[in-house]
Amino acid sequence: MPEDLTELNLPPEETAFFFDFDGTLAEIVEDPAAVAIDATVRHALHALFALSGGAVAIVSGREIDTLDGFLAPLRLPLGGAHGSERRDSSGRLHRVEADEPAIERLAAELEDVARRHDGLLVERKRLSVALHYRRRPDLESTCRAAARAAASPGVTLLEGKMVVELKLSGRTKGDLIADFMAEEPFRGRRPIFFGDDVTDEDGFRALPQWQGIGVKVGQGQTAAAHRIADPAALRAWLQRFADRNGTRRVELAS
């Protein structure tokens, strides 16, 4: 598996750039609400957005409003909630309808587990409920078993890094990328997608239909053909890429 992304030919005007958020653009931290992205990442994303004519999107398990908060003042095309929400390039919002009683039932089951153990955190979203055990990695098997027990037909179980999540919609990050790829300015380009976790594999598996490039951030089995060590290495790559292409564009113009 090639480690070196510098060999990839990625003309910004012919490439569509997709990034996962947590563990990819941002480091994983104990409290998911305390995540922050480095100013260099925000700056590089902004440059990439300009260089590519707007073909940059974040695809995440987070909800769109939360992502906007982390990325501000940047406002990018976003896919959120593991595929259930999307804001396209024109700013239009696409959402899967929420089933509130079903979310309540799932939340009640996971909150019951969190009440019985210290350090667990239940996060309710519009279309899913997550149980975080970042502060209690020793409870991984307890949390996973509880989530498996709570999952009923029509509920998708996602087992991520220090989190299990029960999701009502069957849509995935692969669906999100496909939606963007069907629209301007993404259409007809070659996608590259960076992600670190299990749900990103759906995105990696969708890429061959556009001759796309998958880049796994960190260790672990993957369908991606490329790998980069960690979010810090991705930050450095992004910055070099934006600098190099920004300089090239100035040279071409002069």
Alpha-carbon Rg for the chain, nearest whole angstrom, is 18
Give the residue with the Cβ less far from Mg ion, 25 or 114.
Answer: 25
Cβ 104 to Mg ion shortest distance, Å: 27
Which one among 165, 196, 201, 202 touches Mg ion, defined by CB under 5 A?
Answer: 196
Joined tokens for residue 83:
């595929």
Q: Which of 20, 179, 197, 202 is catalytic?
A: 20
Cβ contact 94:105 at 8 Å? no
Listed residue (173, 27, 166, 153) closest to 106, CA to CA: 166
Q: Which residue is nearest to Mg ion (CB)?
A: 23
Which one among 85, 165, 197, 201 touches Mg ion, defined by CB under 5 A?
Answer: 197
Cβ 217 to Mg ion shortest distance, Å: 8
Q: What are phi and psi of 51, to 5 degrees?
A: -65, -35
Distance between CA atoms of residues 208 and 191, nearest Å: 9
Which span (31-39, 45-53, 191-199, 232-240) binds Mg ion, by CB under 5 A? Answer: 191-199
Query: Binding mask 3-22 vs Mg ion (x if CB under 5 A, - otherwise)?
Result: -----------------x-x
- The alpha helices in the chain, defined as continuous H runs, are 39-51, 64-71, 100-116, 140-150, 173-181, 200-206, 231-253
Give the residue with the Cβ less far from Mg ion, 109 or 216.
Answer: 216
Cβ 195 to Mg ion shortest distance, Å: 6
Give the residue with the Cβ less far from Mg ion, 21 or 245.
Answer: 21
20 classed as catalytic = yes
201 binds Mg ion (CB under 5 A): no
Burial class (CB in 10 A: 0-12, 13-18, 19+), 241: buried
DSSP state of 123: E
Cβ contact 76:90 at 8 Å? no
Cβ 196 to Mg ion shortest distance, Å: 4
Residue type at position 232: A
Q: Which of residues 124-183 bind Mg ion (CB under 5 A)?
A: none
The contact set with Mg ion (CB under 5 A) reads: 20, 22-23, 196-197
